[in-house]
Amino acid sequence: MNKAIKFGTVTAVGLALGAATPVMAHEKGDILVRGGVVTVMPTGDSGTVSGLPDGVNNARVEVENNSQLSLVGVYILRDKIGLEVLAATPFKHDIVGKGDLEGVDVGETRHLPPTVSLQYYFGEKDAKFKPYLGVGLNYTLFFSEKVDGGLLNTLNTLPTVARLGGVKSADLELDGSLGLAAQAGVDVKLKDRWYLNAALWYVDIDTEAELKTDLGTTHKVDVEVDPWVFNVSLAYKF
């Protein structure tokens, strides 16, 4: 499933929710604060790792899922139009090998993915269900990258590395990413100003990972993280 199809899927989900309710929504000046649990589920793949010897031509990596606490703020700019900021506690993702690196624990990284979205809300002012669609920008900052001993052991099985005395340590660095985000969600009124919220994002996150060893060798790989992001939260409207 390519990125255009994934963005289209988010839009289709939101339109389906919106079709089920009348028009009008949260009012100008309203502020919503949502707190809950958010899960990042990467769907992308990577290119092949550079700098490896002949015969190792399909070494790739994959980023695994992680869940964290979420905090989402929304300001209703005008009736039915909202500006949302998605934040969360830092995500911690394991990076594992694929292809020629299948079964190898490569390392881990932490990241913060703040996302700002402009939203359109469906539903009447007092409707129990208030679905919405949104589009925005995401900036992902990677930090605290670590290399797993399993990767060092694997590198040391390569003849060219063994002849140099073996790798004893390595540093991993991932570039930050700026990309589009699409979302669909719904606020379900519980009582007075309290709501239950469920939301889905597709976020375009691309990065380049660079591994530098103590032998002076450098290995690079382009990674498409491109996660689905699911959030379930309790919301209060001020």
**Domain definitions of the chain by residue range:** 3-140+175-209+222-237
Mean pLDDT for all residues in the chain: 86
Question: What share of the chain has pLDDT > 90, as a percent?
Answer: 57
| DSSP strands (E only) in 113-166 | 115-121, 129-147
Count Cα atoms within 13 angstroms, Cβ side, for 223. 27
- Burial class from Cβ neighbours inside 10 Å (0-12, 13-18, 19+) for residue 238 reads exposed
- Dump pLDDT digits (tens) for 14-37: 454 444 444 345 778 889 999 999
108-136 mean pLDDT: 90
Q: Is the pTM of this model over 0.95?
A: no
- Dihedral angle of Cα 139, 201, 122, 81, to the nearest 10 degrees: 0
pLDDT of res. 18: 46
State the fold for domain 3-140+175-209+222-237: Porin (2.40.160)
- Dump pLDDT digits (tens) for 181-205: 999 999 999 988 899 999 999 999 9
128-157 mean pLDDT: 91
Q: DSSP letter at 122?
A: -
